[in-house]
Each structure stands twice: as structure tokens, then as C-alpha cells.
């Protein structure tokens, strides 16, 4: 038995017979591997990433071929893929940490260099200060010597008197009379004494003029403060007199709180509307007796008549009555709120719109001033009722005072009424121009498609803050507008920095506009984009590198490489190669 087993072990074992189909599959796998390795350009030893991709594909082909072991092979492949991804991530983290470590290692050396430079600059400053002091002393000495020499060289001229000429003030005959000469001498001596006395009392030395001017200015300031205090006291007396007059009228009426409230509001509104005549009104308080005036009583009757019309629901008559009130006592927000409280009436015009239309028509016809806030409320009311024709008539008359809120109301209405969008933007532009909202006026021009007109308008206005130009781009994202704002216009420097503008907007919903602008500029040639980058003083190399990285992340590899190529060609920009041990300590500053 043992001999048989030994004999069996000595016999050679035949290799397994491989089917023809398996042979063809193995040969196809081998040919695929060789062909793919040759495609990557290195048959000996190539990049690990390309080899990994080739053999991963081969593994997937084997899994698809071996149906019996498909599940276990798939599991094995997943584990290997997870392990390889972990290794890649670790390599990336190690590379990042290595770069960070190099930067941290250089910080101490950089700080030391900066401290040495500070000490050197301090020494230079001390040397310069010493030289400046020495030169100043030398100049003073030279000036003193010049004054000394000039005093010696130019002696005081003495006046020579010719005895043959006549003495001023006396005749020839008196000049020969000893008594007349004695009288004239006494007169001249008295004149000298008077002049000396005047020098002590009426004149001061030239050195004291500064102190005298300060005293004079202080006295003028005290006088102005006293005048202001006097005017304030007059104004207080005027208001107290008006209030006493209102209280007296209220006591003679029905003594209701509503009447007192309306009388006080009327007094305040009269002061606001008659600012120009306030001084004359204050002065008239001291000249006329307020009890003789019947104006306040007439105003009370007018208010009571208005309340009566309003209580009877005669809103159209009440609106016309309020619009034509004397002194504009019903041209206020309280009256507008009263009409607003009525609300819509079925089959009739909104009472608030009646009041607004009558109010503005009356003010335009009589040229009475109307507050810009009331105009804005009237415009908003007309737009809510879809009466764009009324708003167009009011705005184009150019007789009203507008505020920014009125322009905002028309601008917002343009976004709802697409049919009249261009007309609304034109009206909003007029309102913004009237109230001085220049950036919004330019925005209206951009919304109408007048980009070049907006640029000319911006050029005429004073230079805006950077936020205002960004406001235009955010509310009117347009490649042409961004191009005009970031390049020279009519020989003037650009309003915005190209790099800083792109960095501001590329992380928002306007990313596509920024990328399109860069692509359009790059199509014009490398020189055009390179010149814009070089002239952009506000965005440094790091900013443009960040833009290139963002382009890379959004699958704009060509644009990203184009920017990197331009940056690398600039003087002073050095790219530190990975793993370079002999890199200079300060090269990280330039990249």
C-alpha cells in the first residue's frame, strides 16, 4: 500500500485543460492591457493613476465574464476601490499639510526680516531728522548774517531840509515874522502832543493786532448767539400765541377732541408750508392783535363742512373740497388715511384715488407746494388701481416734488406690467433724476437697453462708491454692462476693477455672466486680457489665481489654463514646484 502511494506521488500532475473560449478571453485581456499601456505613452513604468484605471477596467471585464463569482469579485473590487480612495485622500491631505508646514516654517524668518527692516528704517529716520535739524540751524544762521550785513551796509537815510524853500502852512510874509513863526511853532508842538496822545488811545502796536482780532471775533460770535437766542424766543412766543389762539377758538366751538386735534395739525402744517413767510408772521405777532383775525374760525368752518360731506359718503365732493382747502390744511397724511380707510366701493372709483387725483391736479394748477411723500402715496395709489395714464401725466408735467419712494413704486410696477415695461422705466428714470437718485436712474437706462447712454450718464455724474456700480450689475446682469464698467470709457479710467468685480459676483447667481465676459475677452486675444490684468491694480495675483481655480471647478478648464498661463508670464510671479527642497524662503510671497 505504501509503495503504491509513493509511486503515485512520483507521477507528474497534468495541468488543467483550459477551454478555447477562456483562452480567447485571456488573450483579449492581454492585448487590451498592452494596447492601453502603449496609449498612455509609457510601456516600462507609467503614471500610477493611468495604470490603476487600466487594471480597474480589466477587473470589471473579468467580473462580467465570470458569472459564477460575480458577487464575490464585485465585493472585492469595492473594497480595493475604497482602500485606494483612502490612500489618494491621504496623499492629498499630506500634500496640503506639507505646503502649509512650509509656509509656517517661513513665517518666523519673514518676521525676523521685517523686524530688521523696521530697525533699519528707524535708523534712517533718525539720521534724516538730524540732518534736517542741522540744515535748519544753518539756514537760520545764514539769515541772521544777511540781516546783520544788510543793516550795516544800508544806513538810515537822514532828511535834509533846504532853508530856502517856504515853510508849509504859512506865507512868505509870515515866514519872515518872528511872532507868526512862534505861533506856528506852538501850533505844530500842540499837533505833535495830540498825535502822541492819539497813539496811546486810538492806535495799538502792530504786534497786538492778532489779540484784537481774536477779541473782535469772540464779540461777533457772542452777538450771533444772542441774535439766535432772540429769534428762538420770538419763535417760541409766536407758537405760544398761535396755540393760545387755537385754544380760544376751540373753547368757542363744540370742544371736541377731534376739533382740537385738527386745529393743532392745521397750525403745524401752516408752519411747514409757510417757512418763507414765517419770519414776517413772527414779526407780525408783535404788531397785530391775533384776536382780530377771523381766519382760524373760517378754517374751523371749512373742516366741519369737509367732515359733514365725508359723513354723508359724498366722497367725490369731499375730495374736491379737501383739495381746494385754504392754506392746504387738508393736504396731509391724516386726510389721506381717512380716505384710505373707506376702502373700495363696488361700481365706483376708489375714494382714495379721487382724493389723490384732485389733490395733485389742484396743486399743479395753483402751483402750491406738495410734499414728496404725499406725491409718492398718490403715485402708489394710482398704480394699485392700474392707472398708469394718471402717473404718466403727473410725472411728465415736471411740476411736482418727487422722492425716491415714488420712483421705486414705478420701477416695481414695471416688473408686473410687462406690456408697459419700457414706459414705466422711462417714468422711473425721470423721477430718479428729479430726486437725485443717480444710480437708480442709470439702472433704468440699463433696463431700457441703453447701456452706452447709462455709461455717458455715469461719466457726467460724480464718481459713485463701488457698491453702487455692483448694485447696477446685480439688478441688471449684462455682459456688455460689465465690460463697459471694467474698461476705459472715453479716455477715462474704468469704474470697477475687473478682477474684484468677478470675485464679488462669481459666487452669486451671476456666475454665468462673469464666465461669459472672460471668455469673450479671451477670444479677442491673449494681449487684450493680459493688458486688462496688468492694468488692474486692485486685484492681485492671488485674486486672479482664485478666479482661475473657480473656472476649473465649474468645468472651464481651457479658460482656467489660459488665465494661469497669463499669470505665470508676469514679472515677479514664481510658481514653486511640488517637493522642491531648495525653494527660496520668500518665494511663497509671490505666488
For residue 280, is pLDDT > 60?
A: no
Percent of the chain residues topping a pLDDT of 90: 5
Secondary structure (H, E, C), 117-175: HHHHHHHHHHHHHHHHHHHHHHHHHHHHHHHHHHHHHCCCCCCCCCCCCCCCCCCHHHH
Q: What is the pLDDT of residue 130?
A: 92
Is residue 573 left, alpha or beta, with left meaning phi > 0 and alpha meaning psi from -120 to 50? beta
Q: What is the pLDDT of residue 158?
A: 57
- Cell digits for 300? 374751523
Q: What is the pLDDT of residue 267?
A: 75
For residue 278, is pLDDT > 60?
A: no
CB 458 within 8 A of CB 468: no
Using CA atoms, how far apart are residues 93 and 97, in angstroms rounded to an integer?
6
CB 229 within 8 A of CB 237: no
Q: Which range has the top average pLDDT, 10-14, 163-167, 183-187? A: 183-187
φ, ψ at 489 (rounded to 5°): -135, 115
For residue 570, is pLDDT > 70?
A: no
For residue 288, is pLDDT > 60?
A: no
Mean of pLDDT values over 97-103: 84
Q: What is the pLDDT of residue 293?
A: 47
What do you get for the CA distance between the two ends of the chain, in Å? 83
- Cell digits for 413? 410696477
Mean of pLDDT values over 84-91: 86
Of residues 189 and 514, more confidence is placed in: 189
* pLDDT, tens only, 550-564: 777 777 777 777 777
What band does 279 get if pLDDT is binned at 50, 70 and 90? low
SS3 489: strand
Q: In the 8-state DSSP scheme, what is residue 325?
A: -
* pLDDT, tens only, 185-226: 898 999 898 888 877 776 777 777 778 788 888 888 888 888
Q: How many residues does the chain have?
A: 591
What band does 131 get if pLDDT is binned at 50, 70 and 90? very high
SS3 22: helix
Cβ neighbour number for residue 62 with a 10 Å cutoff: 16
CB 342 within 8 A of CB 351: yes
Long-range own/partner contacts, residues 562-568 (CB < 8 A, 24 or more apart): 562/522, 562/526, 562/529, 563/518, 563/529, 565/526, 566/526, 566/529, 566/530, 566/533, 567/533, 567/541
What band does 287 get if pLDDT is binned at 50, 70 and 90? very low
Q: What is the pLDDT of residue 132?
A: 93
For residue 122, is pLDDT > 90?
A: yes
For residue 309, is pLDDT > 50?
A: yes
Q: Which range has the top average pLDDT, 282-291, 335-344, 477-486? A: 335-344
Q: What is the pLDDT of residue 134?
A: 92
Q: Which of 480, 483, 495 is nearest to 449 (CA)?
A: 480
Using CA atoms, how far apart are residues 556 and 549, in angstroms rounded to an integer?
9
432: Cβ–Cβ under 8 A, 6 or more apart, which residues?
404, 407, 438, 440, 441, 444
What band does 135 get if pLDDT is binned at 50, 70 and 90? very high
User: What is the average pLDDT score of the chain?
Assistant: 78
Using CA atoms, how far apart are residues 100 and 105, in angstroms rounded to an integer?
9
Q: What is the pLDDT of residue 42?
A: 56
Secondary structure (H, E, C), 260-287: HHHHHHHHHHHHHHCCCCHHHHHHHHCC
Q: In the 8-state DSSP scheme, what is residue 556?
A: -
What band does 129 get if pLDDT is binned at 50, 70 and 90? very high
Q: What is the pLDDT of residue 571?
A: 47
Q: What is the pLDDT of residue 394?
A: 87
Using CA atoms, how far apart are residues 415 and 222, in angstroms rounded to an integer?
58
Cβ neighbour number for residue 13 with a 10 Å cutoff: 6
Long-range own/partner contacts, residues 354-360 (CB < 8 A, 24 or more apart): 354/315, 354/316, 354/319, 355/315, 355/318, 355/319, 355/322, 355/323, 356/381, 356/382, 357/319, 357/382, 357/390, 358/319, 358/320, 358/322, 358/323, 358/324, 359/319, 359/322, 359/323, 359/331, 360/394, 360/400
For residue 2, is pLDDT > 50?
A: no
Using CA atoms, how far apart are residues 113 and 108, in angstroms rounded to an integer?
9
Q: How many CA atoms lie within 13 A of 324 on its CB side?
A: 7
Amino acid at each position: 500500500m505504501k509503495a503504491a502511494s509513493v509511486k503515485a506521488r512520483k507521477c507528474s500532475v497534468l495541468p488543467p485543460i483550459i477551454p478555447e473560449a477562456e483562452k480567447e478571453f485571456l488573450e483579449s485581456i492581454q492585448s487590451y492591457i498592452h494596447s492601453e499601456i502603449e496609449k498612455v505613452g509609457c510601456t516600462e513604468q507609467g503614471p500610477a493613476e493611468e495604470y490603476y484605471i487600466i487594471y480597474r477596467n480589466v477587473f470589471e471585464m473579468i467580473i462580467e465574464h465570470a458569472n459564477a463569482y460575480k458577487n464575490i469579485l464585485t465585493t472585492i473590487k469595492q473594497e480595493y476601490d475604497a482602500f485606494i480612495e483612502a490612500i489618494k485622500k491621504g496623499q492629498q491631505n499630506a500634500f496640503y499639510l506639507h505646503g502649509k508646514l512650509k509656509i509656517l516654517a517661513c513665517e518666523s524668518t519673514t518676521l525676523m526680516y521685517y523686524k530688521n527692516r523696521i530697525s533699519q528704517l528707524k535708523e534712517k529716520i533718525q539720521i534724516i531728522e538730524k540732518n534736517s535739524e542741522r540744515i535748519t540751524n544753518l539756514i537760520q544762521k545764514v539769515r541772521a548774517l544777511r540781516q546783520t550785513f544788510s543793516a550795516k551796509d544800508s544806513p538810515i537815510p537822514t532828511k535834509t531840509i533846504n532853508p530856502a524853500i517856504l515853510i508849509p502852512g504859512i506865507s512868505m510874509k509870515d515866514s519872515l515874522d518872528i511872532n507868526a513863526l512862534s505861533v506856528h511853532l506852538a501850533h505844530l508842538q500842540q499837533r505833535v502832543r495830540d498825535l502822541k496822545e492819539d497813539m496811546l488811545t486810538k492806535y495799538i502796536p502792530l504786534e497786538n493786532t492778532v489779540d484784537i482780532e481774536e477779541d473782535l471775533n469772540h464779540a461777533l460770535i457772542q452777538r450771533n448767539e444772542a441774535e439766535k437766542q432772540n429769534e428762538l424766543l420770538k419763535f417760541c412766543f409766536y407758537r405760544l400765541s398761535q396755540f393760545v389762539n387755537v385754544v380760544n377758538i376751540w373753547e368757542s366751538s363744540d370742544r371736541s377732541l377731534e376739533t382740537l386735534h385738527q386745529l393743532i395739525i392745521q397750525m403745524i402744517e401752516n408752519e411747514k408750508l409757510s417757512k418763507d413767510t414765517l419770519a414776517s408772521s413772527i414779526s407780525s405777532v408783535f404788531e397785530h392783535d391775533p384776536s382780530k383775525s377771523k381766519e382760524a374760525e373760517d378754517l374751523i368752518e371749512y373742516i366741519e363742512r369737509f367732515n359733514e360731506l365725508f359723513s354723508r359718503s359724498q366722497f367725490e365732493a369731499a375730495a374736491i373740497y379737501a383739495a381746494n382747502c385754504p392754506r392746504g390744511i387738508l393736504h396731509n397724511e391724516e386726510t389721506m388715511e381717512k380716505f384710505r380707510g373707506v376702502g373700495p366701493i363696488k361700481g365706483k372709483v376708489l375714494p382714495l384715488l379721487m382724493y389723490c387725483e384732485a389733490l395733485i391736479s389742484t396743486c399743479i394748477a395753483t402751483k402750491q407746494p406738495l410734499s414728496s411723500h404725499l406725491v409718492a402715496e398718490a403715485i402708489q395709489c394710482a398704480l394699485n388701481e392700474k392707472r398708469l395714464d394718471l402717473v404718466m401725466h403727473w410725472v411728465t408735467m415736471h411740476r411736482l416734488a418727487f422722492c425716491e419712494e415714488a420712483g421705486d413704486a414705478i420701477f416695481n410696477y414695471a416688473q408686473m406690467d410687462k406690456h408697459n415695461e419700457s414706459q414705466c422705466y422711462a417714468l422711473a428714470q425721470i423721477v430718479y433724476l428729479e430726486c437725485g437718485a443717480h444710480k437708480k436712474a442709470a439702472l433704468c437706462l440699463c433696463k431700457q437697453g441703453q447701456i452706452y447712454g447709462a455709461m455717458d450718464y455715469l461719466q457726467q455724474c460724480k464718481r459713485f462708491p463701488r457698491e453702487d456700480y455692483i448694485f447696477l450689475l446685480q439688478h441688471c446682469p449684462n455682459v456688455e454692462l460689465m465690460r463697459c464698467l471694467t474698461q476705459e470709457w472715453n479716455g477715462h479710467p474704468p469704474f470697477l476693477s475687473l478682477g474684484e468685480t468677478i470675485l464679488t459676483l462669481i459666487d452669486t447667481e451671476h456666475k454665468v455672466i462673469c464666465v461669459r465676459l472672460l471668455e469673450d475677452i479671451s477670444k479677442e486675444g491673449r494681449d487684450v486680457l493680459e493688458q486688462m490684468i496688468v492694468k488692474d491694480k486692485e486685484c492681485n495675483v492671488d485674486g486672479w489665481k482664485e478666479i482661475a481655480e473657480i473656472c476649473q471647478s465649474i468645468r472651464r478648464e481651457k479658460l482656467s489654463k489660459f488665465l494661469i498661463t497669463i499669470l505665470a508670464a508676469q514679472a515677479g510671479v514664481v510658481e514653486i514646484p511640488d517637493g522642491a527642497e531648495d525653494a527660496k524662503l520668500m518665494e511663497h510671497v509671490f505666488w
